[in-house]
A and B are shown apart, each in its own frame.
Chain A
Amino acid sequence: MSAKLHTIEDIESPPPDMHFERGLKSGITDWLTTPDHKKIAVLYSLSGFIYLLVGGLEAILFRIQLAVPDNNFMGGDTFNGMVTMHATTMVFLAIMPMTAGLANMLIPLMIGARDVAFPRLNAWSYWTFLFGSLVLNFSFLHPGAGAPSAGWFGYAPLTGPEFAHAGVDYWWAGLALLSASSLAASINFIVTILNLRAPGMTLFRMPVMIWMLLVIQFLLALAFPPVTVGLILLGFDRMFGTLFYQVSMGGDPHLWQHLFWVFGHPEVYVLILPAMGVVSEILPVFARRPLFGQIAIIFSGIFIGFVGFGVWAHHMFTSGMGPVADAAFAATTAIIAIPTGVKIFNWLGTLWNSKLSFPTPMLFALSFIPMFTIGGLSGLMHASPPLDLQQHDSYFVVAHFHYVLVGGALQGLFAGFYYWFPKVTGKMLNDTLGKIHFWLFLIGFNVTFFPQHILGNNGMPRRIYTYPADAMWGFENMLGTAGALIMGSATLIFAYNMFVSFKKGEEAGNDPWDACTLEWLTTSPPHVANFEFTPIVLSERPVWDHKYTDGHEIVAPDKSESFHMPSYSWKPLIVSSCVLTIVLGLLLNTFIPGSYLWGLSVVGGVGTVLGVYAWVTEPV
């Protein structure tokens, strides 16, 4: 490695000339009206992290119930509610928003744009997500009902009016709001990535992270509608007495399973691909060399996105689809292992024979690889229908998807938090606390979930709230509960670390990791317009090449650039509240039949139309 020719601080640029139509607010009003993708990113990440703690608490509660045989810490109904809310919270309210936080922060910064394509729509997505998550969690407070308890997959007819209480109403309504939010966000990000790249930032000069985020936006835009339809049909069954999932009138519960898993499996890649992007960004920086086979990693991600739409029914091998469908879905599922393997070997190729350093983000990125590989291999076993029939609904499956989603997706997000925290706040996260967090979390995670492979093979089914002592499942379950507590304390240490480091952490500077990609060009935290001048991109690693490659210096223009910036707006919050009112009207009308409270929905609808008119005519 050659010596540094330049540093980022060498670049001298005149301050940009920014003009706003109406300017920005300050204080709390700013957070409510901001169109700034960096602030919305912080809102998403914080909400996601809070829900991660909530979902974790739910897990710890039901782990206490499972710690010993014949326990009566909580009853079956409460247990089902906790499990359902744990999974729904972790998938929709923790990992997805934290990913959305990273996407919001990184997409404009990494491609050299000043904001997303539709800054106000971005704010609308956040508020609608927040309202959806609140509707979902409000179910805990509903008199006489409590949390939805039909499982996060909400299989019909368990969710039908004759079996499920009001919790499921909150569940479908909350998820419908979340799907609207995801759709708006995905459209926004697709347009941003395709249209707003800085000069010279061709598609294949984009960082792998941006490619993975682009792929998942297409997955979100195309995979969410089927489950939205499924949820609407469920809502109609519950509100208006339609017959979609009514077996007595000829309805077929498989309809729900298909609509749900057509969404559900691409959703798995929505959760994991961003983590793969994070790892692909972090490994080269701490191995001090370019990513091995970058183009192969990008195409693997695209391939996973495509094939991800053709594998959903491997969740349904036990539903009796017949040998042809079973064989087809087994084959497509096995095929996905190929691009995934390509990625893993490319990461190993990046690490091979290089000089590694091990700060916390690198530790999380490194441990992602083996943990995800374990989860991937147990997943590949499920591609085989005969094996799947044995493992279906056992703890083996629980172990599998926690290795992919916790050891994979969540560790990837943690790596990203440690890596980009300095850029967002200007302060480094404390590395000692970070390493304690890492080791505790890794140990706790494996203590919890590795024994569950064995439990599953010993016949323990999922979703049971207690088990007899002579089943001999007590030891592994006690381990699981202990591990869950260790993971919980590790996450609290992380929360504490973020708090102290934000208050009085070490100053980060523009480029603390000596990194490659465009976000490290700007100040930490970034300038309000992201960059003081529009960067011109000459390679996949503009910031690295600026520092180390002769002739690839980033040169600032002599005179100030003039930027038009989006102004504050109340409209996103207002329109989002009106959409919430529509949903609340429907829910209240279900809970108090004949009350004319559906009038609220009409009010919300009119409000939405007026709000949209005010929105589109507002000068920005």
Chain B
Amino acid sequence: MSAEAALDHGHAEGHDDHADGHDDHGHGDLVENNYMKVPNIKLAIWTFLGSECMFFGSLIATYFFYHEKSITGPLPQEIFSIEITSISTFILLMSSWTMAMAVDAIKQGKTGRTVNFLLATAVCGTVFVSFQVYEFWHFYHMGLALQTSLFGSTFYTMTGFHGAHVSVGVIWLLIMAIMVKKGYITGEKAYSIESGGLYWHFVDIVWIIIFTFVYLLEFAKPLSDAVK
């Protein structure tokens, strides 16, 4: 293969945007040979989310490993309030919509609108966490502590780590809002808002799984027992 042909081969595999990403600010230079056509930060967040899947996978697996293995009560059916958790779930899911709107706004370069939607997302996240704090307080007073039973240990740990992730997400959103406000993030760096958005949507999806398998299925159970 001649040198030129060999180079063309290299180009064919995606190196042709060699010159495009070349700016003189920030990490710009380090992304110049962007083979994956994904900004570094976004690729990093995707990788991180892969790792997070294993993290929550292990926590949820632990919950199922000990499902119905508790030797003392209270049982999930006795203390869960499906109405309250449904409301907080709805609020968290709606925050994914405001997040998507924030990403859309920054892509159009509308920074004011971006800040507003980021703050709205943060408010939804905070409301969700507040519901969770109330729920924990309520369950605690109904006799379920971290040390009461395997259900208490696994439930509080799993949902607690999810709540911690939402809280980290809220801090992340606030930092992004300040950075947009102060001009650190502009329309050209929309991918950094998008990366934060990836994390936020991921945390939402984890909640959908937890809500379905932990809350809804517990409520389906007495019904199916009755049918039997």
Measuring CB to CB, which residues of chain A are less than 8 angstroms from any residue of chain B? 19, 113-115, 117-118, 183, 186-188, 190-191, 194-203, 221-226, 228-230, 232-233, 236, 240-244, 249-252, 255, 259, 262, 536-539, 551-553, 563-564, 566, 609, 612-613, 616-617, 619-620
Q: In the complex, A467→B29 CA distance in Å?
A: 63
Q: Are A199 and B33 in contact (CB under 8 A)?
A: yes
CB interface residues, B 11-48, toward A, < 8 Å: 13, 15, 18, 24, 26-31, 33-36, 38, 40, 43-44, 47-48
B residues near A619, Cβ cutoff 8 Å: 26
Q: Are A536 and B38 in contact (CB under 8 A)?
A: no
Q: Are A241 and B35 in contact (CB under 8 A)?
A: no
Q: Are B30 and A199 in contact (CB under 8 A)?
A: no
Give min CB distance, B19 to chain A, whole Å: 11
Q: Are B153 and A195 in contact (CB under 8 A)?
A: no
**Contact flags (1/0) for B52-85 with A, using CB distance below 8 Å?**
1011011100100110011110000000000000
| Complex interface: stretch among B86-94, B125-133, B143-151, B217-225 | B143-151
Check if B226 is an interface residue, CB within 8 A of chain A.
Answer: no
Q: Are A551 and B3 in contact (CB under 8 A)?
A: yes
Q: Are A255 and B33 in contact (CB under 8 A)?
A: no
With contacts A195-B33, A201-B10 known, is A187 near B47, CB below 8 A?
yes
Q: Are A222 and B147 in contact (CB under 8 A)?
A: no
B residues near A232, Cβ cutoff 8 Å: 157
B residues near A564, Cβ cutoff 8 Å: 24, 28-30
Q: Are A255 and B7 in contact (CB under 8 A)?
A: no
B residues near A188, Cβ cutoff 8 Å: 44
Closest A residue to B147 by beta carbon equals: A241
Check if B6 is an interface residue, CB within 8 A of chain A.
Answer: yes
A residues near B182, Cβ cutoff 8 Å: 617
Q: Are B10 and A191 in contact (CB under 8 A)?
A: no
A residues near B9, Cβ cutoff 8 Å: 200, 202
Q: Are B179 and A224 in contact (CB under 8 A)?
A: no
Give min CB distance, B45 to chain A, whole Å: 9
Give min CB distance, B198 to chain A, whole Å: 13
Q: Are A115 and B30 in contact (CB under 8 A)?
A: yes
Check if B209 is an interface residue, CB within 8 A of chain A.
Answer: no
Indicate the member of B15, B70, B182 with the most A CB atoms within 10 Å.
Answer: B15
B residues near A243, Cβ cutoff 8 Å: 147, 149-150, 152-153
Choose from B50, B152, B179 the contact partner of A221 (Cβ within 8 Å): B50
B residues near A252, Cβ cutoff 8 Å: 65-66, 69
Choose from B36, B150, B184 the contact partner of A250 (Cβ within 8 Å): B150
Q: Are A200 and B6 in contact (CB under 8 A)?
A: yes
With contacts A118-B44, A187-B47 known, is A539 near B6, CB below 8 A?
yes
Give min CB distance, A545 to chain B, whole Å: 10
Q: Are B29 and A563 in contact (CB under 8 A)?
A: yes
Q: Are A244 and B51 in contact (CB under 8 A)?
A: no
Check if B175 is an interface residue, CB within 8 A of chain A.
Answer: yes
Closest A residue to B21 by beta carbon equals: A195
Give min CB distance, A245 to chain B, whole Å: 10
Closest A residue to B14 by beta carbon equals: A202
Q: Are B58 and A259 in contact (CB under 8 A)?
A: yes
Q: In the complex, A225→B66 CA distance in Å?
A: 19
For the complex with contacts A194-B35, A226-B57, A620-B27, 8 further pairs of A-B residues with Cβ separation under 8 Å are A113-B33, A190-B47, A195-B34, A195-B43, A197-B33, A199-B7, A236-B157, A551-B2
Check if B208 is an interface residue, CB within 8 A of chain A.
Answer: no
Q: In the complex, A251→B62 CA distance in Å?
A: 11
Closest B residue to A251 by beta carbon equals: B150
With contacts A187-B44, A196-B30, A612-B175 known, is A225 near B58, CB below 8 A?
yes
Q: In the complex, A293→B23 CA distance in Å?
A: 40
